[in-house]
Amino acid sequence: MEIFIVYWVIVVMLFVIGIIQVIIKAAKNQPVKPGLKLVIASVIMLVIGAGACAVILSNLNIGH
């Protein structure tokens, strides 16, 4: 269970760091591509993680 928590913490950290990089670099007129890569990676991880959680939860027989 702890690995799921670590996974979601990493996803949130990547997203926040990516957004901060995009904002700072856009304000300084620098390329924002590294920040966008982090945001895109975090969104992909979010979709994969949410799908994995849905599969795990759908296989649980709660109350049966």
Q: What is the pLDDT of residues 6-48, one digit of tens each?
A: 989 999 999 999 999 999 999 999 999 999 999 999 999 999 9
Domain ranges of the chain: 1-40
With a CB cutoff of 8 Å and minimum separation 6, the contacts of 19 are 35, 39
Structure tokens at 36: 């966008």
CA distances (Å), 60 to each of 11, 33, 46, in order? 25, 41, 21
The full length of the chain comes to 64
pTM of the model: 0.80
